[in-house]
Amino acid sequence: MNWLLLFFHFSKFALLCFGGGYVLIPLLITAFVDEQQIMTLAEFGNLLSIAQVTPGPVGLNTATYVGYVYGGAIGSFAASLGLIFPTVVLGCSAVFSLQKWKQSFLMNGILKGTRLAAVAMILYAVTIFFGMSVFTSAIPWHELGRVFLFQCPEIPDTFRISPAGAVLCACSALLVWKTKIPTTVLILSFAAAGALLAFF
Amino acid sequence: MTEKSENTILEWTPLRRYLLLYVSFFRITALVVGGGLAMLPVIEETFVNRYKLLTKEELLDMVALTQTIPGIIAMNSAVFVGMKAGGIPGAFSAIAGAFTPPFFIILLIASCFPRLNPDNKYLLGAFAGVRACVTGLILVSACKMCRSAIKCKFEILVVAVYFILALCKVNPALLIFSAMPLGCLYLHITLRRKAAAEASLKTKSPDSEKEA
């Protein structure tokens, strides 16, 4: 497959993925594991965990990696550019129309509704991040929901509180809430703290 | 809103503005593990608090927009902030800044670890530390966001319903789209109520300065 095809493949994925990088994953599995068979599912799983632990957006990291497996450095460049391209076009036109119709009733109503939904999305993101740091796996909401049906929830063994993660998370929340410490300093010092904890 | 931002960053020369966008997004994607919404607290700190380029409401618009248009959230945010600060060239410099660090980091990892399993426990520990830190940051920013965006009991209910729907794994884009007509309806009702309240006030005191 040449790099132009890779570019268009990833443009297609970007257009299909509503709601962020995690939606991209099933699309990539279908295309590259099931259809093209350039990697196994286990390899893809490894790749995904690397994309999640390294800095940067998960979707972009995954695209760069898959591109590299496919066609080296040029491949990864083509794949990530392809992923970004539709976003730039759509995003620019969206912001443009947002500014143009700022005064209209319709736009104000739309923004009123989407702002409330956005708050809910951020709260949802908080629960996802809790599953990645304070707890050892994603929060099992479907099991916890059974409490409302007066049933005992079956918490899986992989779901435990991670003490180090909980303490670090509480520290960073307190620091950013009570002090004016820059986030760059905060993130770097927490990286050092995490590495230090791994030592013990 | 616009006056406040015009006083600061929009007075800069375009080149300086583009450079700021590039460097800021470079810093954000080079540091933040978890992508997408994890970038939100850092974007808030940089562009809302320090450079006064966005308001809190615009930050929420950004979150809504990034979930509505297809593509990865991080890049959509970069386009939004870039467009606000410097038009289309601004959007491109923000994108370029956000693109550079992850691209080269992954390229480095992919060429050094062809077997795809980094087992350096210190490196993994450092990344876990960053993840915990980002969790704290996003928790605080979510609390602040709730305080500034939710103004009455009805709005608490709306946010709660959307939160539960999101927990049930309903596609976020679908949720945001469904909120658009609801928002129009809500605005319509609140405006009518306000008009009715003003009208009743006017009948009580005919000298009120409603026309002004």
CB contact under 8 A, A112 and B183: yes
Average pLDDT of every residue of chain B? 83
**Nearest residue in chain A measured CA to CA from B186:** A109
Q: Give the total number of structural domains in chain B.
A: 2
Inter-chain touch B162–A130, beta carbons under 8 Å? no
Give contacts of A 100-129 with B, CB under 8 A.
105-106, 108-127, 129
A184 → chain B, closest CA residue: B31
Question: What is the average pLDDT across B3-31?
Answer: 78
- The domain segmentation of chain A, as residue ranges, is 3-100, 132-199
Residues in A 68-87 with any Cβ partner in B closer than 8 A: 68-69, 73, 76-77, 80, 83-84, 86-87
Taking contacts as CB-CB distances below 8 angstroms, the residues of chain A near B24 are none
Whether pLDDT at B17 is above 80? yes
Residue A77 banded pLDDT, cuts 50, 70, 90? very high
Residue B204 has pLDDT above 60, yes or no: yes
User: Are A169 and B76 an interchain contact pair (Cβ–Cβ within 8 Å)?
Assistant: no
Which residues on B lie below 8 Å from A74 (Cβ)?
none
**B90 shares a domain with B47:** yes
Other Cβ atoms less than 10 A from the Cβ of A193: the count is: 22
Q: Assess whether pLDDT exceeds 80 at residue B34.
A: no
**Maximum mean pLDDT: which of A54-58, A143-147, B59-63:** B59-63
Residues B52 and B138 in one domain: yes
pLDDT score at B14: 82
Confidence band of B4 (pLDDT split at 50, 70, 90): very low
Chain segment B158-182, per-residue pLDDT in tens: 999 999 998 888 877 788 889 889 9
User: Is B90 a member of any domain?
Assistant: yes
Query: Considering CB atoms only, which of A19, A120, A182 is closest to B162?
Result: A120
Residue A36 pLDDT more than 60? yes
Q: Are residues B95 and B189 in the same domain?
A: no
| Number of Cα atoms under 13 Å in the Cβ half of residue B121 | 5
The phi and psi torsions of B7 (rounded to 5 degrees) equal -70, -25
Whether the predicted pLDDT of B184 surpasses 70: yes
Among the ranges given (A71-85, B73-87, B102-116, B123-137), the one the predictor scored with the smallest mean pLDDT: B102-116
pLDDT of residue B175: 86
- B108 to chain A, any CB pair closer than 8 A? The answer is no
**Residue at B114 is within a domain:** yes
HSE-up of residue B127 (Cα within 13 Å, Cβ side): 19
Give every CB contact of residue A88 below 8 A, 6+ residues apart in sequence.
B75, B79, B91, B92, B95
Residue B33, helix vs strand vs coil:
strand
pLDDT for A82-138, tens place per residue?
Answer: 999 998 899 899 888 888 888 888 888 888 888 888 888 888 888 888 888 888 877
pLDDT band at B79 (very low <50, low <70, confident <90, very high): very high
Mean pLDDT lowest among A37-46, B26-35, B91-100, B184-193: A37-46
Taking all residues of chain A, what is their mean pLDDT, rounded to a whole number?
84
- What would the pLDDT profile of A146-179 be if each residue is shown by its tens digit? 777 777 777 777 788 888 889 999 999 999 888 8
Which residue of B2, B131, B164 is the best one to mutate when testing the A interface, meaning the one whose CB has the most A CBs within 10 A? B131
Which of B104, B132, B149 is where one domain is finished?
B149
Q: What is the ipTM of this complex?
A: 0.80
Chain B residue closest in CA terms to A162? B132
Q: How confident is the model at residue A39 (pLDDT cuts 50, 70, 90)?
A: confident
Residue B165 lies in a domain: yes
Please say if the pLDDT value at position B23 is more than 90. yes
Query: Distance, in angstroms, between A178 CA and closest chain B CA?
Result: 10
Give the span between the Cα atoms of B136 and A67, in whole angstroms. 33
pLDDT score of B209 more than 60 = no
Min Cα distance A137 → chain B (Å) is 13
Q: Does B132 lie in the same domain as B55?
A: yes
Chain A contacts of B172, Cβ < 8 Å?
Answer: 18-20, 121, 124
Is residue B130 predicted with pLDDT exceeding 90? Answer: no
**From the CA atom positions of chain B, what is the Rg in Å?**
22
Is residue B78 one of the residues assigned to a domain? yes
pLDDT, average across residues B184-193: 90
Residues 9-48 of A with CB under 8 A from B: 14-21, 23-24, 43, 46-47
User: Scanning every residue of chain B, which has its alpha carbon at the shortest distance from the alpha carbon of A104?
Assistant: B184
Residues of the domain holding B139: 2-149
Residues of A in contact with B32 (CB under 8 A): 55-56, 187
DSSP B23-51: HHHHHHHHH-BS-GGGGHHHHIIIIIIIS
pLDDT above 80 (res B120): no
Considering the domain architecture, whether residues B134 and B154 belong to the same structural domain is answered as no
Residue B134 lies in a domain: yes
Do B126 and B57 belong to one domain? yes
Per the domain annotation, does B212 fall within a domain? no
Same domain, B132 and B166: no
Task: Using CB atoms, pick whichever of A19, A91, A165 lies closest to residue B67.
Answer: A19
Rounded to the nearest angstrom, the minimum Cα separation between B91 and chain A is: 8
Percent share of chain B, pLDDT over 70? 87
**Cβ atoms A64, B106 nearer than 8 A:** yes
Same domain, B64 and B74: yes
Instruction: Please report where in the chains the tokens 């050092």 appear, as a residue.
Output: A192
CB B20 within 8 A of CB B96: no
